[in-house]
Amino acid sequence: MATVAELLSQRQQLLATSDSPALDIEILLCHCLQKQSSYLRAWPEAEVPEQTEQQFQALVQRRIAGEPVAYLIGERGFWSLDLQVNPSTLIPRPETELLVELALAKISDKPSAKILDLGTGTGAIALSLASERSDCEVKACDVEEGAVALAESNRKKYGLSNVEVFQSDWFAAVNGQQFDLIVSNPPYIDPDDQHLQQGDVRFEPRSALVADNKGLADIETIIQQASAYLNDKAWLLFEHGYDQAASVQALLIKAGFDQVFTEQDLAGVDRVTGACYTVKKGGA
């Protein structure tokens, strides 16, 4: 039988595939052993049962072929949650936590705020907001049936009764409801972007990544339709691509929003743009 240390040394095989071979190997081994990473450090000489090793070797081979670690273990940490993930939708990214942080700040003075998350995927944004604000009513929709099922399963995992997950093509099934905050991490990658051919994104659904019009088509659709679904002084916040802040700001201004802002993620990249909607009084 192989030892823990011997199996960890297989990180060498991942050098060509992964930016984080040591971490990937640890996560895969912990998953197969059903142990925390502290176990690997405490017991490098421990022998790994044959069946567990076989399971581990199969996952290593899939990782060598490029499959994302999160899909291999079916899980990814986001905010304070461990979310189930699968290839029906995007793997939650750390930079999306900025959107959660800013959204929470925008509703900090609004008790029982009504929130809508468009294109919820795993439910990452909606469930994080709901877990922080049990007084708020959160609606989360996605056009993909698989994503709706996944988000609902994540909702159940955390018993978040203040979230409703449903299927909708953006606002199509939202039916005359109004919100104090609408958030979205829609597809925003330019179909010609070279980075679609590299790394984890190759295994994620194109429908969750790519949008026409240099990646701006879905953001534009949402901005054009949003005002009918926003209360007075409500906020609309997007995650977007590194070079899209100016375009998203221009779309928001054109649609009559005010207090337009952009924030950078931890890598110093423009990542979230948002604005406030003021209901026009007495206008035609």
Taking the CB of residue 42, how many other CB atoms lie within 10 A of it?
11
Burial, 111: exposed, middle or buried (Cβ in 10 Å; 0-12, 13-18, 19+)?
A: exposed
- Stretch 243-282 residues interacting with ligand GLN (CB under 6 A): none
Which residue among 81, 138, 181, 189 contacts ligand GLN (CB under 6 A)? 189
Least Å distance between CB 250 and ligand GLN?
20
Cross-strand pairs, 37: none
* Residue owning tokens 């490098």: 44
Cα atoms in the Cβ-side hemisphere of radius 13 Å centred on 270: 14
Report the distance separating Cα 166 and Cα 174, nearest Å. 9
- Stretch 192-231 residues interacting with ligand GLN (CB under 6 A): 201, 209
Q: Which range touches ligand GLN (CB under 6 A), out of 30-38, 170-178, 181-189, 223-231? A: 181-189
Q: Does 35 bind ligand GLN (CB under 6 A)?
A: no
Cα atoms in the Cβ-side hemisphere of radius 13 Å centred on 71: 20
Least Å distance between CB 46 and ligand GLN?
37
Least Å distance between CB 86 and ligand GLN?
16
Report the distance separating Cα 212 and Cα 218, nearest Å. 8
Q: Does 69 bind ligand GLN (CB under 6 A)?
A: no
The terminus-to-terminus CA distance of the chain in angstroms comes to: 78
Q: Does 187 bind ligand GLN (CB under 6 A)?
A: yes
Q: Considering CB under 6 A, how many residues would be counted as binding ligand GLN?
A: 8
Tokens of 213: 């019009």
Q: Which range touches ligand GLN (CB under 6 A), out of 22-30, 62-70, 186-194, 273-281? A: 186-194
Backbone angles phi, psi at 170, to 5 degrees: 50, -120
Least Å distance between CB 97 and ligand GLN?
12
Is the CB of 26 or the CB of 204 nearer to ligand GLN?
Answer: 204
Tokens of 63: 């990782």
Is the CB of 37 or the CB of 198 nearer to ligand GLN?
Answer: 198
Least Å distance between CB 189 and ligand GLN?
5
**Under the rule (CB under 6 A), what is the footprint of ligand GLN?**
90, 93, 185, 187-189, 201, 209
